[in-house]
Structure formats: C-alpha cells, structure tokens
Structure 1
Amino acid sequence: MADVARHVLENETLTEEERDAWVDLRVKGHDELVQAAGLLPPPSTLPVEGATVADYVYAWRLEKDCAALIERLTARVGPTRVLEQFGTLVAFEVDRQSASNVTLADLFELLEGAKHELRIERYSISELALDQVFHHLTDPST
C-alpha cells in the first residue's frame, strides 16, 4: 500500500487499481497510519476526474450502501430497483406481490434495523405515485 501511496504522490494521477487501493485504505481506517508516516496528504488534496478522492470514496460508499439495501429489500419484500437518484436522495421501487404477507410495519422494521449500518439519514415509505402508475401502464418492459 505504501508503494501505491508514493506513486499517487509522485504522478498525481490515479488508475483504477490505485483508486481501489486508496478506497481500501480509507474504508479500513488505515489512512491515519499512512499519513503519520508522511506518505500521503489529506485525501481532499488529490484530484480524481474533477473530484477529490474523498468525493470518490463517498460516492463509492453510497453505491455500496444502496446495493446492500436493494439486496435486503429484494430478499424480504420482492424485486427492488432504484427509481431515481439525486445526490444522496435515492428513491426505490419495491415490487411487493399482492399475495405477500409483508406489512408496512415490516418495512419500517427492516429500514430501522439497517439505518445505522447503511448510513440512512431519513426515509419514508409511500404508495406508488400516480405518474409511476401511468409509466407502468405505458412501458412495455415493466
């Protein structure tokens, strides 16, 4: 890892492998150790495709958390997909079968249980919006 850090500092560019290595360092909490050795500046000083490494790690973590939540919702309720995403605001659509015995309380319990682990700030559960109902009626792929 130290070799990757030195390479990043010398070249000021990151390949995909180097980004993954940096993400591993950041996620595992080893960045303080590496910074203490004087190998890396704070992540916000390293540009990556117009964003900082910290931005890259944040987006990566959001993607992983969304995937984990989709997996949990799919396993408990039914097929789940991202309906729309704007920054950290993500709307999911869960296809709960009419014969399903999953209640609204079950959904709240699932989300409350995952709130800390998946860094969910707040959430709401609602019926499908009217425009989505019309979209489903007119979209042959759904």
Structure 2
Amino acid sequence: MKNGTISYEIDNKNRKVIDLSEMQRVYGTPDSKLTSKPDSTETDSTTIEMYKVLIEELRQDKQDAKVREELMYKEIEALKDKIDNLTLALGYTPLKIQPDNEPDSTNEQNSTTTGLQENVYTETINKIENNNSSPTLIDRFEKGIKAFFRK
C-alpha cells in the first residue's frame, strides 16, 4: 500500500478498504490444487477407529445404565416392602384385591397406601425395642402416632 503496488479506497469512516479483485491482481488467485488433501484411506481408517471407540463407549454406557436401572428397581421394591411393613405396624391391613385393581402391565406401579382398611386397637402401643435414640425423637413419634389414631 505504501509502495503503490496495491491500490485502495477510503470509505466514509476514513478507513482504507482494499478490493478483493485488487488482492487477486497482486497476489494471484488461490489455487485449490495446492492445498493438499489428506489420503482418503488414511482418513477413513482413523474415522473408523474413532467410531469403533465411540461405539464401545456407548455400549459401556448402556450396560452401566442397565445396572443402575436394576439397582433402582431393587431399591423401589425394598422401599415398597418397608411401606407395607410400616402400614401393617400402624394397624392397617390391605383390603382384598379385586380383579379391576390388577395392573395392566408389569411397568404399572401399585400404590401401597390405597385400598387399606384401618384396624382400631384399644390397647396402647408398646415400644418394640429399646434403642439409644434421642428421647425427644421417640416422644415426638409417640405423640404423632397417638394423634393419628385419635382421628
């Protein structure tokens, strides 16, 4: 620009602007043949290896997800058993299950708190075991149970 090989124009913001055709005149057009393309077989083999690694990672992720799902189903079953045990301990027994109450599929979840009938006991609740829990926690639990049965 200073030595005059490239001509330029000044725009309305007083900046120097060089036209593309001027750049091509001075430096020539870029030749696409000069840019080397990598060998297609080399690229294909690296791409294939990359996809093989990706497929293996996805298979491992799928296996991990299956293991997590199985553990969650086991935990859900254990929690359902705990709910049933606590429900029975509080004096409720399940009503007879009628055919309409059966789930349509194995994925349908059964609610353990519906369809229960209350057994009212007139005797007081005795402590099952004497553990070293905080006495305030036990007192609050007993008050909650007594309030629940007064309803």
- TM value normalised by structure 2: 0.25
- Higher Cα radius of gyration: 2
TM-score, structure 1 normalization = 0.27
The answer to which structure has the higher strand fraction is: 1
